[in-house]
Chain A
Amino acid sequence: MTNLVKFSITLSLVFLIDSVHADREAFESTYAPLAPEKIIIQNASVYDGDGGELLETDILVDNGKIIAIGKDLPFSNEFRVIDATGKWVTPGIIDIHSHMGVYPAPGVRTSSDGNEATSPVTADVWAEHSIWVQDPQYALALAGGVTAFHILPGSANLIGGRGVTVKNLQRVTINSMKFPDAPHSLKMACGENPKRVYGNRGQAPSTRMGNAAGYRKSWIQAEGYLRKLNEYEEKSDEAKELEYAPTRDLEMETLVGVLKGEILVHNHCYRADEMATMIDIAKEFNYKITAFHHGVEAYKIADLLADNGICGALWADWWGFKHEAYDMVQANIAIVDQARNGTGCAIVHSDDAIGIQHLNQEASKALSAGRRAGFEISEARAMKWITSNPAKAAGIYDQTGSLKVGKNADVVVWSKNPFSVYALAEKVLIDGAIAYDREKNLLPASDFDIGIMSPNKNRIEE
Chain B
Amino acid sequence: MINMNLKFVYLILFGLLLIFVASNTSAKTIVIKNATIYDGVSDSSYKGNIQIENDKIKRISSSNLQGDFIIDAQEKIVTPGLIATDTEIGIVEIGALSVTRDDSADMYKIGFSIYDAFNPNSTLIPWNRSNGVTTALTTPQNTSSPIGGMGSLFVLDGKLNVTGVRDAAMIGQVGGSSSGSRSEQYAIIEDLLIMASSLSKSDLSSDSKIYELIGESAISSAMELHPRDIKALFKVLNDNVPLIMKSHRASDLLKLIEIKERFNLNMIIMGAQEAHLVKSELAEAGIPLIINPINNIPDSFDELASNIQMASRLEEAGVPVMFNVSRSHNYHLIRQGAGVAVANGMSYGGAIKSLTSVPAKTFGMSDRGTLEAGKIADLVIWDEDPLEPSAMPEYVFINGENMDLTSRATRLTDRYTKDLDEPVTYRD
| Alpha-carbon distance A420/B1, docked complex (angstroms) | 24
A11 cross-chain contacts in B, Cβ below 8 A: none
Please tell me if the beta carbons of B297 and A140 are within 8 angstroms of each other in the complex. Answer: yes
Which residues in B have their C-beta under 8 angstroms from that of A335? 416-417
Write the chain B residue with the least CB distance to A452.
B304
Interface size on A, residues (CB 8 A): 52
Q: Which residue in chain A gives the minimum CB-CB distance to B344?
A: A424
Q: Report the stretch among B23-31, B71-79, B90-98 that lies at the interface.
A: B90-98
Tell me which of B301, B330, B392, B417 contacts A106 (CB under 8 A). B301
Check A320–B94 contact: CB distance below 8 A: yes
Chain B residues, CB < 8 A from A137: 297
Interface string of A327-358 (1 = CB under 8 A from B): 11111000100000000000000000110011
Q: Which of B148-156, B167-175, B321-329 contacts A (4 or more CB under 8 A)?
A: B321-329
What total of chain B residues lie within 8 Å of the partner, measured CB to CB? 48
Residue among A137, A320, A369, A420 with most chain B CB within 10 A: A320
Question: Do most interface residues of chain B lie in helix, strand or loop, or is the interface mixed?
Answer: loop
Stretch at the interface among B219-227, B234-242, B334-342: B334-342
A323 touches B (CB below 8 Å): yes
Docked CA distance A108–B176 (Å): 11
Report if A460-B97 is in contact (Cβ < 8 Å); known contacts: A106-B301, A335-B416, A354-B297: no
Please tell me if the beta carbons of A140 and B94 are within 8 angstroms of each other in the complex.
no
Contacts of A318 on B, CB cut-off 8 Å? Answer: 327, 329-330
- CB of B300 within 8 A of CB of A106, answer yes
B305 touches A423 (CB 8 A): no
- A364–B304 contact, CB under 8 A? no
Interface members, chain B 114-129 (any A CB < 8 Å): 123-124
The stretch among B180-188, B369-377, B383-391 that forms the contact with chain A is B383-391
Chain A interface mostly helix, strand, loop or mixed? loop
Q: How far is the CA of A421 from the CA of B4 in the complex (A)?
A: 25
* CB pair A459 B298 closer than 8 Å: yes
For B301, the closest partner residue in chain A by CB is: A106
A108 to B177, CA, bound (A): 11
Asked whether A108 lies within 8 Å of B300 as measured between CB atoms, the reply is yes
Given A354-B326, A421-B339, the answer on whether A373 and B413 have CB atoms closer than 8 Å is: yes
Neighbouring A residues of B141 by C-beta, 8 Å: none
Contact with A along B388-399 (1 / 0, CB 8 A): 111110000000
Is the Cβ of B343 less than 8 Å from the Cβ of A421?
yes
**A421 in contact with B413 (CB, 8 Å):** no
Q: Of B1, B340, B416, which is in contact with the most chain A CB atoms at under 10 Å from its CB?
A: B416
Asked if A453 and B304 sit within 8 Å, CB to CB, the answer is yes
Interface contact A368-B392, CB-CB below 8 Å: yes
Q: List 22 A-B contacts (CB under 8 A).
A: A107-B300, A140-B297, A196-B96, A317-B330, A320-B94, A321-B328, A322-B97, A323-B97, A329-B412, A329-B416, A354-B295, A361-B389, A364-B388, A367-B390, A368-B390, A373-B413, A374-B1, A374-B4, A422-B342, A422-B343, A424-B343, A460-B296
Chain B interfacial positions (CB closer than 8 Å to A): 1, 4, 93-97, 123-124, 276, 294-301, 303-307, 326-330, 333, 336, 339-340, 342-344, 387-392, 408-410, 412-413, 416-417
Identify the A interface with B (CB < 8 A): 105-108, 136-137, 140, 192, 196, 299-300, 302, 316-323, 326-331, 335, 353-354, 357-358, 361-362, 364-365, 367-369, 372-374, 419-424, 452-453, 459-460, 462
